[in-house]
Amino acid sequence: MKDSFLQFLGLSKKAGYLIEGYNRCEEAVKKQSVFLLIISFEASINTRTKFEKYSNNLGIECIKGYNNEDLGKSIGRSEISVLCVTNKNMSEKLIALYSSCQNNRG
């Protein structure tokens, strides 16, 4: 795994600042304890629509640039569609790394 965003995502999980899965992320969003949403571009249309709505309505940054497998492998699972970060500093670093990775891809 060469992508620094995915590597840091794994670190966020080890630090305990990553919530995995649709239901757990939805609960955290409703409690307003989320600073970053990460949605696989392979997630269902309903899932993407719901979390994009949360993102827009609550002002939560949202990243949609990875598939289920890449997100899952970065945190020790086979696949995952929805993740959220509950720490502001971690989320800011992930956003910066994502931007950097996107710029390097061209």
**pLDDT value, residue 96:** 95
CA dihedral 83, 12, 96, 44 (to 10 degrees): -10
Q: How confident is the model at residue 1 (pLDDT cuts 50, 70, 90)?
A: very low
Q: Is-contact 4 49, C-beta < 8 A?
A: no
Mean pLDDT score across all residues of the chain:
93
**Confidence check: pLDDT of 103 > 60:** yes
Residues 52-102: tens digit of each pLDDT: 999 999 999 999 989 999 999 999 999 999 999 999 999 999 999 999 877
Residues 6-55: tens digit of each pLDDT: 999 999 999 999 999 999 999 999 999 999 999 999 999 999 999 999 99
**Confidence check: pLDDT of 2 > 90:** no
- Class of domain 4-105 as given by CATH: alpha beta
One-letter identity of residue 60: I
> Beta-strand (E) ranges in 35-100?
36-39, 61-63, 82-85
Q: For the full predicted model, state whether its pTM sits above 0.85.
A: yes
